[in-house]
Chains A and B, each alone.
Chain A
């Protein structure tokens, strides 16, 4: 029998449903794979072996009892360590939460459990999801399975690397400025940022509340859609959750897989052309555009004049919100406490705790945000950034009057070597150049592998209007049906 880790989630669900394999066998195969490769990849911060096998046994016994099972029952899933899991460590990649076991489950994890998926464990990430390489994890970097000397993207490098290393068929990420799509692109996997409000943030350790969007990661577009369907939809515990059903992303992925895009109009953003993407990335992107045209899509150029200000606006809005969201990490109610010697005051202990518990990137952003919100600077920085955000949304609206979806390379560059960009924080920020606009607008985006450059994966991004997540699935699935597969070298 073929190694169970090589199957897609859809295939595994079928094997379990038909009784050709048990959930326990599927789970054990992935746990074995993690044991075999994760000391080199370091995709996981915590593997919940017992919890996973318990959940798998539960699925098997429910199947034996003839109970109806969901479409992903018995399929393993890895969860970015930014989502709370009751009784299971949740660190957000930070020393300040190193020993925290939350007393509650996030909505997404609750839905994953209810659907009978098997949670393998928690994946590595840049601390508090701030970063583009997973090098800012307090627990050491994750390595790209395509080339272990390179980064897997970030902040959700663990979730994407675990897919590329066949440690899990599905994983969950969170995307504030590209943290699902960008790692997806550089690991040759699929990453989806749903419409903001289409997936619940309840239990997602907040980085930037108005931008954070949890979403599915997978090796195929259909798998991502199946996972999207399980985790998406209205949640009364999240005030910003959209009270409407998730668009039928599974049907759209199946439709796209037929390879016909007749009647679909796609827009290439003119302003992205001059943004300095690597030649190899541009070549792969142009080849993909040609492919999409052959599939029947009409590709035109559109202008989004304010996209050039997306990165600066993002690096004001996200740090501002994070400076407030991270204030609660003070060593009073949970997590690390440093310097409580019976002499120092609370203020000193708080400051020592935060100094010791936060890494350099988090400190930079907290201070940057504190600055941007200060009286006297608010209007010029935070206030102005929010106005630019309005203009970027208007650019999207105008563009979507002309085309059904926008396409671009997901990232300007392929996976870079570990350590290449840590010395200059702003160089790291450029990794999210093409993904940030949809976060500011709130619309969905997907990254799907479209080719290789120097033997490393390149992703194509499809951006759609808010609550039209199905459109991007169709385009991505169509491309997927004719390019690839992109399989990393054996580990």
Chain B
């Protein structure tokens, strides 16, 4: 079916979007949520399983203290209230990647509730309200065999690996976000970006969207101004920050197209396709299972002691937004400068370079200049360019000590990026150090004067500017390893002229 989709500008001119985000985070604990199996990514199939995470008859769950603490820390970082008493619940539905055919989750008693996360969109602050943060367990992985594309549709059988089953998951649910208008896609992206940074700063997860340790479901609805919120759809399988933005935009356009054609939106799950940027229909909520939640009788309630919560709160790291504000002040940067550092993803790199001994100006210069240029050319993230903050600080140290000129330093950096070792080592191996031996330089200067008597006479005659040609000649014989200023002074001195 081919329909002409309305332009995005037309969609937002006519409709108001309401979005909401449900984010699943795989915690980076050593062991699973309810058993002692390791959580490492990958591994041969069914090698990280035990009676508990396989759901064998008779097995029982015991909750992981580190996972509970991580959830509380996430709740605190998102300004939530921590429940004084809450329980796990069973969510009952049949699916082969779920060993017990129920998922241990939380239902009406989440561990953390009513928080918020402040994000910036285009320099403007936006406060996203958080409804809840709760604990649950991940499912196994199903491999579909016999179909054309490895997808479930058309497959003749499936193979299940339970290594991932039982890995601790934290689900973070926002309240509905109205009023974002045309910026709704950017708001969604800014929220997930900020959330990811917060989770990373807490050290609770490796937050890799590609590997699925951070997974996002996006709820979208449209309504006419002044009218009730529309029926929402839930888009799953959104696996990158860019996709979050695209998924909201494409679903807004699709819904507007349906509404414009006189249709109504079905409450359903939709799947996002990375390749096309479209969503397709999944399971309709109208036929969804009744999950028959009830309190998990195998696990006793979690009742965080206020002292325990206070200790966890006191030990929270500085959160990214405050951290960034403090750095901006310390580094004496304008909002615009700070923004360019953020856009380049260079905050942590510059911070580490300063910690390794460089000045803020020098650190910023290298990361935003030469290294950003190389990263762009190579099409890689700045952090993956191949130079470490320590190496950059060392390089700047060599410049400051007069051992490298700026130009030489760039050459050294090229070899650092190529993986040849530390700047000092490269400088020595490749004989790139500035020539500062006066004897050798004087010889080179005398040689240049002897080779260019006419120019030497002009300089002697008072045309000091003509000395530049002699400097060039010296630089050539020393292969650029002399300091030009020193060379110039030496030439004037040998010719008996005041500089």
Contacts and interface: CB of A to CB of B under 8 A. Distances in A.
Interface of A: 83-84, 90, 92, 97, 100, 102-104, 106, 201-206, 208-210, 236-240, 320-321, 323-324, 327-330, 332-334, 342, 346-347, 350, 370, 373-375, 378, 382
17 contacts: A92-B57, A100-B57, A102-B56, A102-B58, A104-B56, A106-B58, A205-B58, A206-B58, A238-B62, A239-B300, A321-B297, A324-B90, A324-B292, A327-B94, A328-B101, A332-B160, A374-B292
Contacts of B96: 330, 332, 346
B92 A328 contact: no
A contact face: mostly helix, strand, loop, or mixed = loop
Contacts of A321: 294, 297
Nearest to A209: B297
A238 to B, nearest CB: 5
A141 B125 CA distance: 72
A408 B81 CA distance: 49
A373 B298 contact: no
Contacts of B294: 320-321, 324, 373, 378, 382
A230 B99 CA distance: 32
A84 B57 contact: yes
Nearest to B299: A239
B100 A237 contact: no
Contacts of A347: 94
Contact of A373 (B54, B57, B92): B92
10 A-B pairs with least C-beta separation: A327-B101, A209-B297, A373-B292, A210-B297, A203-B58, A205-B57, A84-B58, A328-B55, A328-B100, A104-B51
Interface string B83-106: 000000010101010011110000
B61 interface: yes
Most buried by A among B54, B57, B61: B57
Interface in B48-93: 51, 54-63, 90, 92
B290 A202 contact: no
Given A240-B298, A330-B101, A373-B294, A203 B59 contact: yes
Contacts of A206: 57-58, 298
Contacts of B90: 324
A375 B290 CA distance: 7
Given A328-B100, A330-B101, A239 B63 contact: yes
A324 B89 CA distance: 11
B94 A202 contact: no
Most buried by B among A90, A106, A239, A240: A239
A130 B469 CA distance: 103
Given A324-B292, A346-B96, A202 B54 contact: no
Contacts of A375: 290, 292
A350 B61 CA distance: 25
B142 to A, nearest CB: 10
Contacts, number: 101
A324 B294 CA distance: 10
A118 to B, nearest CB: 22
Nearest to A330: B101
Contacts of B297: 208-210, 240, 321
Interface string B157-183: 010100000000000000000000000
Nearest to B92: A324
Most buried by B among A102, A236, A329: A102
Contacts of B102: 324, 327
B64 to A, nearest CB: 12
Given A350-B94, A373-B292, A238 B55 contact: no
A327 B95 CA distance: 10
Contacts of B63: 239
Contacts of B54: 333
Interface residues of B, number: 30
Most buried by B among A208, A328, A378: A328
Nearest to B291: A375
Contacts of A320: 294
Given A332-B160, A373-B92, A375-B292, 18 more contacts: A84-B56, A103-B56, A205-B57, A206-B58, A206-B298, A208-B297, A239-B60, A240-B298, A321-B294, A324-B90, A328-B55, A328-B100, A329-B57, A330-B94, A330-B96, A332-B96, A370-B292, A375-B290
Contacts of A330: 94, 96, 101
Contacts of A373: 92, 292-294
Contacts of B158: 346
Contacts of A237: 60, 62
A453 to B, nearest CB: 37
B287 to A, nearest CB: 13
A204 B56 contact: no
B105 to A, nearest CB: 13
A452 B229 CA distance: 73
Nearest to B63: A239
Contact of B56 (A92, A236, A333): A333
Contacts of A97: 57
A109 to B, nearest CB: 10
Nearest to A329: B57
Contacts of A342: 156
B56 A239 contact: no
B423 to A, nearest CB: 54
Contacts of A382: 294
B55 A333 contact: yes
Contacts of B62: 236-239
Most buried by B among A202, A240, A324, A375: A324
A320 B300 CA distance: 18
A303 B178 CA distance: 58
Interface string B285-326: 000001011100111100000000000000000000000000
Contacts of A332: 96, 160
Contacts of A236: 62
A213 to B, nearest CB: 13
A84 B51 CA distance: 11
A478 B290 CA distance: 53
Nearest to B51: A104
B298 A239 contact: yes
A384 B167 CA distance: 34
Given A203-B58, A240-B300, A327 B92 contact: yes
Most buried by A among B55, B61, B101: B101
B191 to A, nearest CB: 31
Nearest to A203: B58
A374 B293 CA distance: 8
A378 B107 CA distance: 14
Nearest to B62: A239
A293 to B, nearest CB: 40
B99 to A, nearest CB: 6
Given A237-B62, A382-B294, A103 B51 contact: yes
A375 B289 CA distance: 10
A374 B57 contact: no
Contacts of B300: 239-240
A66 B99 CA distance: 47
B94 A238 contact: no
A239 B58 contact: no
A462 B96 CA distance: 45
Interface in B250-290: 290
A281 to B, nearest CB: 33
Contacts of A334: 56-57
Interface string B210-240: 0000000000000000000000000000000
Nearest to B298: A209
B137 to A, nearest CB: 14
A201 B57 CA distance: 11
B92 A239 contact: no
A37 to B, nearest CB: 30
Nearest to B156: A342
Contacts of B57: 84, 90, 92, 97, 100, 102, 205-206, 328-329, 334
A106 B51 CA distance: 11
Nearest to A92: B57
A406 to B, nearest CB: 25
